[in-house]
Amino acid sequence: MTPSPRTPCIHPSILSADFANLERELSRISTADAVHVDVMDNHFVPNLTLGLPVVESLRAATDLPLDIHLMIEDADVWAPRYAELGCESVTFHAEAAQAPIRLARELRARHSSAAMALKPATGIESYLDMLGELDMLLLMTVEPGFGGQSFLDLVLPKIRRARKAVDDLGGEIAVQIDGGVNAETILRAADAGADTFVAGSAVYAAEDPDAAIAGLRGLLKH
């Protein structure tokens, strides 16, 4: 496996956690690099999860960095509000943003990392010129909206193209994947150039989520 220039990061997704006990569930992933929080509005994606009030409570309940993934319409309006809560990273979807460059700059101005997500069928070519405005590029490896889906290998060539584009800029931008990440698929994604991995059921379905995180990290060291 050819390692990316960045140290691999594991971001467990609380979409697979017990929503009735989120504070406890956060304590079970104390070794995570960040907590991935999926915000869905039942419009941009066919599912409804949580919003600003719950994220504000999560912010108060953990010192882990919050990696907010907005699968919502009106991203230009709502994304800055998550940055204002103190979330370390806010991801908006390219398909939902009216002015992605302006939005990325607004997030950074509010001291949040700016990240942009692309659905599996959305190409990266139209966005290569704005990569320098981002701290992270999220490539969905399932259709957004629900956890537990199977990894889409057809995204691997896009990950490779993203890796090359990021490396051409100096390799400072994280290349994140989200969807179907487990002990098998994480290696394929890492080989293609991903360095930041959202893992839901692969972590929270384990008896010991922190041990599952360690297991994924161990695979990436080989």
Instruction: Name all domains of the chain by residue range, CATH numbers in brackets.
Output: 9-220 (3.20.20.70)
Q: Which of 106, 104, 60 is nearest to 86 (CA)?
A: 60
Q: Which of 38, 41, 67, 135 is the catalytic position?
A: 38
Active site residue 178: yes
Distance CA 100, CA 161 (A): 20
3-state SS of the chain?
A: CCCCCCCCEEEEEHHHCCHHHHHHHHHCCCCCCCEEEEEEECCCCCCECCCHHHHHHHHHHCCCCEEEEEECCCHHHHHHHHHHCCCCEEEEEHHHCCCHHHHHHHHHHCCCEEEEEECCCCCCHHHHHHHHHCCEEEEECCCCCCCCCCCCHHHHHHHHHHHHHHHHCCCCCEEEEECCCCCCHHHHHHHHCCCEEEECHHHHCCCCHHHHHHHHHHHHCC
Active site residue 33: no
Annotated binding site for substrate: which residue ranges? 13, 69, 145-148, 178-180, 200-201
pTM value is 0.93
Annotated binding site for a divalent metal cation: which residue ranges? 36, 38, 69, 178
Annotated binding site: which residue ranges? 13, 36, 38, 69, 145-148, 178-180, 200-201
pLDDT tens for the chain, 222 residues: list them.
444 557 899 999 998 999 889 999 999 999 999 999 999 988 888 787 888 999 999 999 999 999 999 999 999 999 999 999 999 999 999 999 999 999 999 999 999 999 999 999 999 999 999 999 999 999 999 988 776 779 999 999 999 999 999 999 998 999 999 999 999 999 999 999 999 999 999 999 999 999 999 999 999 986
Q: Which of 33, 67, 178, 195 is the catalytic position?
A: 178
Instruction: Using alpha carbons, list the distances in angstroms from residue 36 to 98, 130, 179.
Output: 24, 24, 12
Sign of the torsion angle spanned by Cα atoms 77, 82, 84, 90? negative
